[in-house]
Amino acid sequence: MVVNRDRYLNKLIAKKENGLIKVITGIRRCGKSFLLFELYHEYLNSIGVSNDNIIELALDEVMNAKYRNPLELDQYIREQITDKEQKFYVFIDEIQKVSEIQNPYVDDTESKIGFVDVLLGLMKIKNVDLYVTGSNSRMLSSDILTEFKDRGDEIRVNPLTYSEFYSAYEGEKRHAWREYYTYGGMPLVLSKKTHEEKSKYLKDLFAKTYISDVIEHNKILNEQSVLEDLLNIVSSAVGSLTNPTKLSKTFQSVKQVSVTANTISKYLDYFLDAFIMYKAFRYDIKGKKYIDTPLKYYFTDVGLRNARLNFRQQEANHIMENIIFNELQAREYDVDVGVVEYNSQNKDGKKVRIQLEVDFVANKGSKRYYIQSAFSIDDEGKRRQEINSLLRVPDSFRKIVVVRDDIIPWHDENGILYVGIEQFLLEENAVDI
């Protein structure tokens, strides 16, 4: 089954031969290798590049184990590109498999050679266009590009968006949404037929891949249970405002375990660095400033989140909110949680400060959208409640309410657009109707 990943393929095409190392990152099993070795390879062939000029090396294969030595890797690649009249496209998969070794040419025990040295050297060869993927240990880091000292060009790959999933879904299309919000967009989920197969696949990804990577990368010794409990707690409260202090209190009250806020903050950062989760800061729309805490966490893939909870907590409204956040991320918006404050009076006539939330403030260049995720607005009272915050936003940028129902898009008397979730996800221009 081939899933077109045109968004990322077009990025690779645009960055072709730009003189930088193209670094393809993202959560493991989201399709990075397929993008490079299949889709981009096919594109190069289509514009006349011969297979002889495409050098591919998958370092996770045993047959290529010797090239995990950086000196062997460097020698192998250089032996393939001796014809200086030819352009060569070098693809190295799972570059983090390369070990760091002692420099054999100097006596200094602190002098090491690793994959960064190899890549920076290959990048300087004029007839080489270099592409690498990495997905665990040292490469599973959101600050990977700092290792390349601004000579790397990152392409972040996400799990399948709903439109990508929908295009490849082989069942009845009316069931696609239910499948997506239950099992998410990890590409291999599409090849699994039963709930048991999908559930096992997603649970195994956490147990055998993601957790192991986080533990290995961060050298966690005796606190795996705390790490996993934290993951479960955040999964259960996805999209809710929280912070390390609040989570520390949850450990104390629910688990009867004392875990400091600093430890929790550190572990949350590990999840972010491993691309398991995103975080969204709160933005004071009227005050035009960020609010440090609390904030929200969303899972990179809702199927992983659901599997983490054994598919017990299927709150469609929270899952829908997570999916909208992921979609905005995939469309390359900067996404914040909006806050609108205003003065009011309580029942005793005293002035109080009321704080309302706009689910998402999405910015890209000069564009801004205020988006409310409303699972249902089946009565007027519910609708007014959902748009209360939008009505208090003091500017004229587009305001949108995304609902679960399949509706014909419409605008109310305040100019607010109402659109169904599937249309919002399948049609990028739906926000501009």
Whether residues 40 and 54 fall in one domain: yes
Q: Is residue 85 situated within a structural domain?
A: yes
- Report the pLDDT value the prediction gives residue 111, as an integer from 0 to 100: 92
Q: Is residue 190 situated within a structural domain?
A: yes
List, for residues 188-231, the tens digit of each pLDDT value. Answer: 999 999 999 999 999 999 988 899 888 888 888 877 889 999 99
Q: Is residue 90 situated within a structural domain?
A: yes
The least confident of 148-157, 173-182, 375-384 is 148-157
Question: DSSP character for 336?
Answer: E
Whether residues 311 and 389 fall in one domain: yes
Whether residues 290 and 404 fall in one domain: yes
- Give the domain-ending residue among 156, 181, 202: 156
Name the domain count of the chain: 2
- The arithmetic mean of pLDDT across residues 130-147, rounded, is 64
Whether residues 272 and 305 fall in one domain: yes
List, for residues 310-321, the tens digit of each pLDDT value. Answer: 998 778 889 999
- Report the pLDDT value the prediction gives residue 386, as an integer from 0 to 100: 94
Whether residues 260 and 399 fall in one domain: yes
Report the percent of the chain where pLDDT is more than 90. 77
Decide if 86 contacts 127 (C-beta within 8 A): yes
Quick one: how far is CA 132 from the chain centroid? Answer: 18
Confidence bin at 137 (pLDDT 50/70/90): very low
- Report the pLDDT value the prediction gives residue 255, as an integer from 0 to 100: 87
The least confident of 30-44, 71-85, 113-127, 217-231 is 217-231
Q: Is residue 261 situated within a structural domain?
A: yes
Whether residues 343 and 244 fall in one domain: yes
In our burial notation (b when 16+ CB lie closer than 10 A, e otherwise), range 189-225 reads bbebeeeeebbebbeebbeebbbebbeebbebeeeee
Rounded to an integer, what distance in angstroms lies between the CA atom of residue 136 and that of residue 134?
A: 6
Residue with the two structure tokens 């202090």:
245
Report the percent of the chain where pLDDT is more than 70. 97
Long-range contacts of 198-204 (CB under 8 A, 24+ apart): 198/303, 199/307, 199/310, 199/311, 202/303, 202/304, 202/306, 202/307, 203/307, 203/308
Whether residues 141 and 180 fall in one domain: no
List, for residues 254-283, the tens digit of each pLDDT value. Answer: 888 899 999 999 999 999 888 899 999 999
Q: Is residue 430 situated within a structural domain?
A: yes
- Give the domain-ending residue among 106, 130, 156: 156
Residue 272, classed as helix, strand or coil, is: helix
- The arithmetic mean of pLDDT across residues 381-401, rounded, is 95
**DSSP element (H, E) containing 419:** strand 417-420
Whether residues 134 and 176 fall in one domain: no
pLDDT at 349 over 70: yes
Q: Is residue 1 situated within a structural domain?
A: no
- Tell me the two tokens of residue 77: 């690649």
Q: Is residue 57 situated within a structural domain?
A: yes
- Give the domain-ending residue among 156, 171, 192: 156
Whether residues 167 and 77 fall in one domain: no
- The arithmetic mean of pLDDT across residues 108-125, rounded, is 92
Whether residues 250 and 130 fall in one domain: no
Whether residues 235 and 117 fall in one domain: no
Q: Is residue 99 situated within a structural domain?
A: yes
Q: In this structure, what CATH number is given to the domain that contains residue 38?
A: 3.40.50.300
Domain that holds residue 201: 161-433
Strand pairing category for 417-420 and 398-403: parallel
List, for residues 76-86, the tens digit of each pLDDT value. Answer: 999 999 999 99
- Report the pLDDT value the prediction gives residue 140, as an integer from 0 to 100: 43
Whether residues 151 and 198 fall in one domain: no
Per the prediction, the chain carries an average pLDDT of 92
